[in-house]
């Protein structure tokens, strides 16, 4: 079994962020399913929620969600590479690339929302 590396290293931090983003997404999913269920109970309840969700703070939170989703997706791909290929010196660069792509993706989403 491969280890995360020394505590505090960039690879260790990437692994922790991957786990935390997965946890945050797992917490979000029941909320998402609840909102979807509002459509079954009448359009007025869903419309009320959608009006509430149109607030700037909620939109900003959606940007964080997109960031977490991108971090988790790219972190999962990094884990697949680690588990199926030999370690190489570029692992730290790959972890930083994941963070950069996630930030850019969230920023693009932010620009489209506002």
The pLDDT value recorded for residue 70 is 84
Structure confidence at residue 87 (pLDDT) = 66
Structure tokens at 11: 């690879």
Q: Which two tokens stand for residue 3?
A: 């280890």
The reported pLDDT for the residue numbered 2 is 54
Q: Around Cβ 18, how many Cβ atoms within 10 Å?
A: 20
DSSP labels, 5-18: -STTSHHHHHHHHH
Domains of the chain: 10-113 (1.20.1300.10)
pTM: 0.62
Radius of gyration of the chain from Cα atoms?
Answer: 18
The ranges of the chain with pLDDT < 50 are: 1
List C-alpha distances in Å: 38 to 18, 30, 35, 44, 72.
31, 13, 5, 9, 28
């Amino acid at each position: 079994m491969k280890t995360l590396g020394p505590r505090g290293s960039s690879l260790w931090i990437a692994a922790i962020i991957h786990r935390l983003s997965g946890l945050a997404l797992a917490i979000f999913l029941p909320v998402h399913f609840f909102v979807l269920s509002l459509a079954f109970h009448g359009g007025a309840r869903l419309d009320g929620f959608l009006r509430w969700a149109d607030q700037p703070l909620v939109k900003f939170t959606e940007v964080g969600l997109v960031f977490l989703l991108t971090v988790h997706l790219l972190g999962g791909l990094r884990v697949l590479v680690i588990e199926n290929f030999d370690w190489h010196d570029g692992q730290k660069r790959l972890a930083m690339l994941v963070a950069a792509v996630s930030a850019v993706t969230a920023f693009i989403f932010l620009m489209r929302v506002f």
